[in-house]
Chains A and B, each alone.
Chain A
Amino acid sequence: MTVDAPVAADTARPPRRNSRRGEPWLDWMTLPALVILAVVIAYPIIRTVLTSFYDYPLFNPEHSFIGVRNYHRLASDTVFWQALRNTVVYTAASVLGAMLIGLTLALVTERLRGPWRVLRGALLTPWAVPVIVVGFLFRFMFDEQGGVVDAVLLRTHTTGTAVPWLTGGYWPMISVVIANIWSQAPFFLMVFTAALGAIPPEVVEAARIDRAGGWTLIRRIKLPYLRDAALVGTLLMVIQNFNNFPLIWTMTGGGPAYGTTTLVVYVYRLAFTSYDLGYSSTVGAVWLVLLLAVAVVFVRVLRRRSA
């Protein structure tokens, strides 16, 4: 019978499909986007990894392949390990601090009504201030010679001598973290405010009928609802803080000594002031792997949420 012929032809050339979801393996319409991604993301990454195996000074046109020697150097590079440690401390302290303050502000401002809601908008303004401006602001505020912070501490006799915010001991790291928390807490305020608004009112009402107090309400009802928002926000901010260059560079330049040098600052120094593109690519490649690990966690969390 001729009627069945087209059907037979269709089954003879099945479209390439994802067998699980029944979707085409590749939609050709995505090709332009894939090409752009390949040029702006894949190529630089591959090039960075390749460069990490070369002695590649920017002032010398001849670059020689040196295998894994840069990776050997990395293993014994004390500055790299200090920068890695600083990155972890800076990121963890900043994200934790910003999240706790953002959460507190979200809970405090949750029930603001009418014109009082302007207050929440005002609390969000640090998020709109460019990071480089934040860096300069806090650098002037923490300055030992006439900075407002030391002036207040001395006038109120909180301290007997000026605190070396940007020059002594652990203070420089504490200072950059404080500045960063000020800048990023509004992000968590936004995230938590949105998440609080999504809690079903009947759940809160039911808890109130059961005579749950304010603290119990927060701990037993609200915080569990905020867990997913906290997780996503945290992962996003971890990635952002891993890459936070302008704040540290403007406040301390990574110093004193290497006290506030993070991986991104170290890579910048190696690449653009020492012109050692090979070794800076090595540090960059390791940094990329660390960021990828965080990104994988992020993607998995998102998938679990959407499932």
Chain B
Amino acid sequence: MTTHNPLRRTLPALAGVLALGLLTTACGGSSDSAGATTTTITFANWADAEPATQAGLRTLISEFERTHPGIKIKSEPISFTDIGQRLLLQVQSGNAPDVAELAGNDTLTTAETQALQPLDELAGSGYKQSIIPAELQLGEVGGKLVAVPWTVGPIGLWYNKKILKDAGLDPSKPPATWDDLLADAEAVHRKNPKIIAFGLDSTNRAFGLDTNWPIIKSFGGQPYQGTTPAADSSGVKSYLDFARQIAKSGYTPANQKAGFFRQPAASDQVAFTVDGPYLKSVVQSTSKVTDQQFSDTWGVVPLPTTDGRPHFSVPTDHQLVLFKSSKHQQAAWEFIQFLSTSPAGIQYTIKSEGSLPPVATLTGDAAKLLDNPIAKSFRDDIVPLVTRPEWGSNYAKAYSPIMSSVQSAMTGSQSIDSITSGLQSDLESALK
């Protein structure tokens, strides 16, 4: 008697299906039932890894796939803190995605691998003209466009009008100089020491230095340029003196991330804070206030400066890059363009990211959504002040000694001269 074993037939069939699946995956394309070729674009990003943006991004990707039937998007969620190093490793191992979301120094460091595809030809003049010029320049390296803006987030000085009023200050006159800010912070602190007078990211991270960079510049300093350290300068010393004052006077807790101040800000426990436009969505999602209520409580202005010097800001934009190794450059570019300039992409940027879209002209729903004093202040007053820090591989080496010195000034008792002298020699060693 022979026993019928169903697995004898099923297993080879399963193996065949599996092999076919692997083959089509490896080829990066497949045929649907109608015989049309489908292109798959891999998209490394952190938006899919964060609860606040995940749903919005997935809806956006679905919308893209619906309007572009021949293209499928395979999202690769990687956390914000890991994406820079992960992409460098992927480039080194020849396994880069087609498209990636990057920000700040990670964009420039990745560009140094020469793995990014210049986008000038793909973008064309039409696309370029549709983007805010200052934002487009942020993605240029060596005269070539290697990254385009997706979300725009310059940092400004947020101020809580209620707290200022309670402290006897005029909420219609936010500080324009750092001396003004110190005076206002003193008034707030005297009135209620429990309130964080000034929220400033002073963590030892590249992002920490991003936040401090425009402030250092407004004091007339720049810790280094290219490979030349310039830390032992009056500008850097003045900045460190300021950092010491705000920490020792109890206006700001040292070694805290920008995110640390957002929840207290939502419960009116922060008078001033240095942050991007996304603070609005964090505060609103926590305290459930309307746009009008938010605008009644909060205002934003360019970061203060010292007498006679220009104001500066720094971008915390999310950018999109295309890798040279991508076999589907045109499809990948269509996806990038969709994310940064389509109505659906703009809606996502405003609603899910709480940021500004990169388009030069706002129309339709986007114009309505951004018809508020906060967005206007960011677009009209702060975006034009954006300058790119000395991003690149040297920045990756220099940020730690610089931010360590900022923390030393804030928490230690060493003289400022001694701190800048030590920083100068640390930078000489790091940038050699």
Contacts and interface: CB of A to CB of B under 8 A. Distances in A.
A246 interface: no
Contacts of B113: 59-61
Most chain B Cβ neighbours within 10 Å, of A79, A255, A258, A274: A255
A58 B88 contact: yes
Contacts of A78: 422, 426
B255 A60 contact: no
B267 to A, nearest CB: 11
A257 B88 CA distance: 27
A43 interface: no
Interface residues of B, number: 35
Nearest to B264: A145
A167 interface: yes
Given A167-B253, A273-B400, A257 B412 contact: yes
Given A167-B254, A256-B408, A59 B204 contact: no
A168 interface: yes
Interface string A155-169: 000000000101111
Interface string A239-250: 000000000000
B418 to A, nearest CB: 12
B347 interface: no
A257 B393 contact: no
A275 B254 contact: no
A253 to B, nearest CB: 6
A236 B74 CA distance: 45
Given A59-B88, A254-B204, A257-B412, A275 B426 contact: no
Given A59-B88, A166-B255, A253 B400 contact: no
A116 to B, nearest CB: 43
A275 B411 contact: no
B426 A79 contact: yes
Nearest to A167: B254
Nearest to B405: A257
Given A76-B429, A78-B426, A166-B255, A60 B112 contact: yes
Contacts of B401: 79
A85 interface: no
Contacts of A57: 393
A73 interface: yes
B404 interface: yes
B192 interface: no
Interface string A161-199: 000101111000000000000000000000000000000
Contact of B396 (A164, A252, A275): A275
Contacts of B405: 257
A251 to B, nearest CB: 10
A77 interface: yes
Contact of B89 (A58, A77, A168): A58
Interface residues of A, number: 31
A272 interface: yes
Contacts of B85: 58, 272-273, 275
Nearest to A161: B250
Interface string A38-78: 00000000000000000001111100000000000100111
Q: At the interface, is chain A mostly helix, strand, loop or mixed? A: loop
Nearest to B393: A59
Contact of B254 (A77, A79, A256): A256
A61 B92 contact: yes
Interface in A227-282: 252-259, 269, 272-276
B236 interface: no
Contact of A256 (B264, B407, B422): B407
Contacts of A77: 429
Contacts of A73: 429
A73 B432 CA distance: 11
A257 B243 CA distance: 13
A110 interface: no
Contacts of A272: 85
B253 A144 contact: yes
B400 A256 contact: no
A269 B255 contact: no
Most chain A Cβ neighbours within 10 Å, of B112, B253, B255: B255
Given A59-B112, A166-B255, A273-B396, A255 B404 contact: yes
Given A59-B110, A145-B196, A164-B411, A253 B203 contact: yes
Contact of B410 (A58, A169, A256): A256
A255 B257 CA distance: 13
A257 B408 contact: yes
Interface in B403-427: 404-405, 407-408, 410-412, 422, 426
25 contacts: A58-B89, A58-B92, A59-B110, A59-B113, A59-B393, A60-B112, A60-B113, A61-B92, A78-B426, A79-B404, A145-B264, A252-B255, A253-B204, A256-B254, A256-B255, A256-B411, A257-B405, A257-B408, A259-B411, A273-B85, A273-B205, A274-B396, A274-B430, A275-B85, A275-B393
Interface of A: 57-61, 73, 76-79, 144-145, 164, 166-169, 252-259, 269, 272-276
Nearest 5 Cβ contacts at the A-B interface: A256-B407, A257-B408, A256-B411, A167-B254, A257-B407
Given A59-B110, A145-B253, 18 more contacts: A58-B85, A58-B88, A60-B113, A61-B113, A145-B196, A145-B264, A167-B253, A169-B411, A253-B204, A254-B204, A256-B255, A256-B407, A257-B405, A257-B407, A269-B400, A273-B85, A274-B400, A275-B396
